[in-house]
Amino acid sequence: MTKKLFVIFTVLFLFLNSSFLFAENNLVETLNSIESISFCNKKIPLEKNNVKERLEKEVLLVCHNRPQVILWLKRSGRYFPEIEKILKQENLPDDLKYVAVVESALRPHIRSSQNAVGFWQFIHSTGALHGLHIDKSIDERCDIIKSTKAAALYMKSLYEKFKSWELALAAYNIGEMRIERELEAQDTDNYYDLWLPEETMRYVFRIFTAKIVFEKRKELGFDLNDSDYYYPYETKKVKIWLDHTVPASVCAKALGLSLYDFKLLNTKIIGDYLIKGETFIDIPAKHTPKKFFTEFEILKNKWVREHTVFYYTVKRGDSLIKIADEFEVRTKDILEWNKLDYKDYIYPGQKLVIKSSSLKLRQ
C-alpha cells in the first residue's frame, strides 16, 4: 500500500512540476515576444530599458499568481460586456476596462484600506461627486453600470486635463493635485520620466500587464473555453416605492430567490434592509414585473403588519378580543408582544404594543 501511494505521489509531483515548467517556459517566451504594445492607441516606449524592465516585472509577478489571473478572466465574462458598452458610449478607449481589473479584480464589494469601494474603487467623496448614491443601504459604487458610468466621466475629465492616458491614470490612483505638483516640481510632462510613490509608479504598469495577460492568455497557459467564463446576469430594472423600511429578503422572496441570489443581482444593496422611498432593483429577466409587484405587495404588507410596532392606549370598555378584532391580529399575539398572561387584566390608560400596519393605529 505504501509503495502504491509513493508511486501516485511521485507521478503527481512530476505532473505538477512539468505543468509549472511548461507555464514558466511559456512566460519567458511571451516576455521575449513583447516587442511592441500599445495602450489607448499609444505605443508604450519599450525601447527604454527601464520601461521594459518595469513592465516585465509586473507581468512576472501577476502571472505567478495563476489562480488570480484565472479569476480575472472568468469574471470578465460577466462584467466586461457592460464596461465595454459604456466606454464605447462615452467614446473612450476600450483598454480602460483593464483599470477595473487592477482596481478590484472585478469584485463588486471589495474595500481598500483607504475605504475605497467597488469595481472602480471610489472613496465616498469622489463617488458622491460623480453622482453615485451612497448610504447605509445602497452603495452604487458596487453597481457595475452606475459605477462604470461614473468612472468613465472621471477618467475623461482627467484625460482632458493631462492630455495623456498614463498621467490621467496616475492621477486616478494618487489624485490630480499630486500629479500636477509633481509635473511642476520635476519639470516634465512625460509620465515615464516621473518619479512617484512606488504604488503609483507600478499602478499604470499593472494596467498594461492586465491587457497583456488578457490578449496573450493562451500563450501564457490560460487557455479557457467559452464555457469557463462566468455568464452575465440577465435582468430587468423595476422601480419600487416603499412607505416603510423592509428587509431586502422580502424582495428576494417575492421573486422566489434566496437573499444571496437576490443580492448577486443587486450588488448595490449592501444592507439587510431597503429604506423608505423610491429605489430601483434588478429582477431576473424571465420574471414579469406584474407578478413581482403582486407578490411583493402581499409579502411587504405581511411583514409590516407583523413587525411594525405601535402603542395603543386602552380605553374604557376595551377587551383584548375587541382590540385584536379591531386591528386584525390574534389575542395570543397581543399577550406575547406585551408579556401578559391570559389571566391578566387590562385597564384604561394602559399602553399596549401592537404590531400591525393598520392605519387605525396611527390615530
Q: Which of 210, 228, 246 is the last residue of a domain?
A: 228
The strand pair at 246-247 and 273-274 is best described as: antiparallel
Backbone angles phi, psi at 277, to 5 degrees: 125, -165
Note whether 90 and 223 are same-domain residues.
Answer: yes
Q: How far apart are CA 179 and CA 171, in angstroms?
A: 6
The CATH number of the domain where 331 resides is what? 3.10.350.10
Q: How far apart are CA 323 and CA 321, in angstroms?
A: 6
Note whether 165 and 270 are same-domain residues.
Answer: no
* pLDDT in the model for residue 165: 97
Note whether 69 and 189 are same-domain residues.
Answer: yes
* pLDDT in the model for residue 24: 56
Note whether 182 and 288 are same-domain residues.
Answer: no
Note whether 205 and 316 are same-domain residues.
Answer: no
Q: How far apart are CA 353 and CA 363, in angstroms?
A: 15
Note whether 195 and 272 are same-domain residues.
Answer: no
Predicted TM-score (pTM) of the model is 0.79
How does pLDDT run along the chain (363 residues), one tens digit per residue? 565 655 555 545 444 454 444 455 566 776 777 778 899 999 999 999 899 999 999 998 998 899 999 999 999 999 999 999 999 999 999 999 999 999 999 999 999 999 999 999 999 999 999 999 998 889 999 999 999 999 999 999 999 999 999 999 999 999 999 999 999 999 999 999 999 999 999 999 999 999 999 999 988 888 899 999 999 999 999 999 888 788 899 999 999 999 999 999 999 999 888 888 888 999 999 999 999 999 999 999 888 877 777 788 898 889 999 988 888 788 888 888 888 887 888 999 999 988 765 444 433
- 231 touches 285 (CB < 8 A): no
Note whether 15 and 55 are same-domain residues.
Answer: no
Q: Which of 262, 289, 307 is the last residue of a domain?
A: 307
DSSP letters for 164-230: -HHHHHHHHHH-HHHHHHHHHHHT---GGG----HHHHHHHHHHHHHHHHHHTTTTTT----GGGSP
Q: Which of 196, 228, 260 is the last residue of a domain?
A: 228
> If you count them, how many residues does the chain have?
363
Note whether 204 and 261 are same-domain residues.
Answer: no
The residues, any chain, with a CB within 8 Å of residue 190's CB and separated by 6 or more, are none
Side-chain-facing half-sphere of 11: CA atoms under 13 Å: 6
Note whether 111 and 98 are same-domain residues.
Answer: yes
The tally of domains found in the chain comes to 4
Range of the domain at 319: 309-362
* pLDDT in the model for residue 135: 87
Note whether 176 and 260 are same-domain residues.
Answer: no
Note whether 297 and 251 are same-domain residues.
Answer: yes
Note whether 214 and 323 are same-domain residues.
Answer: no
At residue 320, the 3 state secondary structure works out as: helix
